Amino acid sequence: MQVAIEQSWKKILNEEFEKEYFHKIVTFLKSEKEAGKVIYPPGRQIFSAFEYTPIDRVKVVVIGQDPYHNPGQAHGLSFSVPDGFPAPPSLVNIFKEIQSDLEINLSGKSNLQKWAEQGVLMLNASLTVEANKPMSHSQVGWHLFTDEVIRKISIHKDHVVFLLWGKFAQNKEALIDRNKHNILKAAHPSPLSAYNGFFGCKHFSKTNQWLQEKGQTAIDWQL
């Protein structure tokens, strides 16, 4: 099956595209669109996280659940929205923690492409969603694909920082070799849970400290 995904990822994930579950995902998405349903993000942006962050550049992995389900917000990067859109509540709290942790002022820009281009893989567990229906594609098979992405990173890379925010993301810990990688866990940045351990986690400074200790360039979190 031909999948429009960045070449380094295509090479390492090629077997996944031939598996039955992936064929079922493609068939499902085609049938939903033929039925007139609106799917986010647009087709050309489903694999944007991989386009901006080839596997050889991956330094940090941020795991979200599924894309934003409101018009125009989803563009293939977890927690991020395109230029011109205000930051959703969880992203607002991420920015608050960055400002507190690193003592910097952010510009208000909510497009996280700059992070992705530096090696932060902004990965949602489900890569698509039906408009106005959160988690609507959580059972169509995407988790099989994105779990394999996490496994491949763990196997093929060294010294990656995995930011696992909330129980959903923390359930992915079993896929990661903690002898090679740094796993940082905290509450989800959602307004419902951010005060239960996300605020004050200092994951952004801890990430940069780890990367620098391993001889890598720190992430510029300034936007």
| Residues 34, 81: Cα–Cα separation, whole Å | 26
- Between CA 76 and CA 79 the distance in angstroms is 9
Judge whether 68 and 82 are in contact, CB under 8 Å.
no
Please give the DSSP secondary-structure letter assigned to residue 55: G
Locus of tokens 């909510």: 110
Q: How far apart are CA 61 and CA 3, in angstroms?
A: 22
Q: 56, 66, 147, 177: which is the annotated catalytic residue?
A: 66
Is 158 a catalytic site residue?
Answer: no
* Three-state secondary-structure class, residue 14: helix
- Evaluate the omega torsion of the peptide bond into residue 88 and state whether it is cis, within 30 degrees of 0: no
Residue 36, sorted as left (phi over 0), alpha (psi -120 to 50) or beta, turns out to be left
3-state secondary structure of 91: helix
Q: Enumerate the active-site residues.
A: 66
